[in-house]
């Protein structure tokens, strides 16, 4: 990723040196990341995916910093060994395991 020298009061901007071709024939950075100025707080990412125009994902920061230890106290330290729900499974009722771009599939979790 390359840091942009563009002057912005509110944002820092990074972009990939790899360029992606869009349907208009123009080339743009394949990925861009925006942060709140002089912080590591992400604002949004923009990426070009499979010849499409850019796909933008905005972030809403709910909390910054280390989580309160009280949130983890109820979780047993050996939770990974006590969790043995063998009935948990995923069922995919589809004719193929391949999903095309912008398509979806329904799954069931038991």
Instruction: Specify the pTM.
Output: 0.52
Q: How many CB atoms lie within 10 A of CB 62?
A: 5
Render pLDDT for 35-74 as a digit per residue (tens, 0 to 9): 999 988 899 999 887 766 777 888 888 777 888 888 888 8
Q: What pLDDT score does 24 carry?
A: 83
The domain ranges of the chain are 2-109
CA-to-CA distance for 104 and 96, rounded, in angstroms?
12
Please report, for residues 34, 46, 51, 59, the alpha-carbon distance to residue 21 in angstroms, rounded to integers and kept in the order given: 21, 14, 6, 26
Do the Cβ atoms of 29 and 15 come closer than 8 Å?
Answer: yes
């Amino acid at each position: 990723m390359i840091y942009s020298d563009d002057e912005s009061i509110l944002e820092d901007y990074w972009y990939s040196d790899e360029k992606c071709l869009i349907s208009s024939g123009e080339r743009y950075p394949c990925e861009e990341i925006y942060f709140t100025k002089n912080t590591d707080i992400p604002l949004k990412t923009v990426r070009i995916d499979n010849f499409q125009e850019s796909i933008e994902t905005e972030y809403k920061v709910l909390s910054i910093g280390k989580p309160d230890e009280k949130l983890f106290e109820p979780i047993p330290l050996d939770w990974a060994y006590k969790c043995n729900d063998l009935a948990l499974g995923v069922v995919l009722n589809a004719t193929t395991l391949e999903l095309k771009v912008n398509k979806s599939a329904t799954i069931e979790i038991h």
